[in-house]
Amino acid sequence: MYFIHIPNGGFDAFAEFKNQYFIIFQHANDILINLNDIDRYMACVVIPLDAHVERINYCGHPSHILKCDKIILGDIYDLYDLKTILKFKLDILPNYTAQICKKGLVTLLTFIKNAGLPLQYDSKALNWVSKEGHINVLDWWKNSGLPLKYSKDALNLASLNGHVAVLDWWKNSGLPLKYSKDALNLASLGGNINVLEWWKNSGLRLKYSKDLLIWVSHKSLTNVLEWWKKSGLLLK
């Protein structure tokens, strides 16, 4: 049995690939390793005897990934359904966990934890949650009893996307706050005045690049330039 990614649009979304190769995985877990934002489903496929098949090599070594010019489509499964996880004994790999969190699927996280399945994760899980603004997922992690892994990207990406509620959550969480110059830099370049106000009033140490106004000027963000001018903050 072989497997294939199916985008959010279902198999119809493959219409544009009819004259191209399909990427086929020999193991279901390989789907999760290579999971991306648009992949929602997994399908079982059969490779016809007359198909042209090539094995994809990575760094000169054969992989478990194939490409072929035709397939026979079998059953389709939702990658974010506990039944799929249990049926195919999928490993909850870090990339998969990060995608679950990015999509805000708290119920699935709870099912996985309650089922006693090993939940593998890294800092991308909380970082991506913060980027997407999912307060309910942040609450889930904090109350899960699991070690919390996150990096400066959590607050930096929340600032980029204008998620003041996420910034409030982190500030009130009691957890060590990690952030860098990118928080104010990205907020400025994204035109997020509300985020700039939040940082100014947060009482936290403000970090930003000395060339920030040059970058903002190049993007013609006059409202941001005006904000910095009135902020009273030292910036050359």
Are 123 and 157 in contact by the 8 Å Cβ rule? The answer is no
pTM attached to this predicted model: 0.87
* 221 has a pLDDT exceeding 60: yes
pLDDT tens digits, one per residue of 13-28: 554 455 577 888 989 9
Neighbours of 114 (CB within 10 A): 9
* 160 has a pLDDT exceeding 90: yes
* 202 has a pLDDT exceeding 80: yes
Q: What is the radius of gyration, based on Cα positions, of the chain?
A: 22
* pLDDT, averaged across the chain: 90
User: 234: pLDDT confidence band, cut at 50, 70 and 90?
Assistant: low
**CA-to-CA separations, 135 to 11, 102, 120, 131, 218, in angstroms, rounded:** 32, 11, 21, 10, 34
Say whether 154 sits in a helix, a strand or coil: helix
Residue 66 has what pLDDT? 87
Are 95 and 35 in contact by the 8 Å Cβ rule? The answer is yes
pLDDT tens digits, one per residue of 54-97: 888 766 655 678 888 888 989 999 999 999 999 999 999 999 99
Please tell me the number of Cα atoms within 13 Å of 101 on its side-chain side. 29
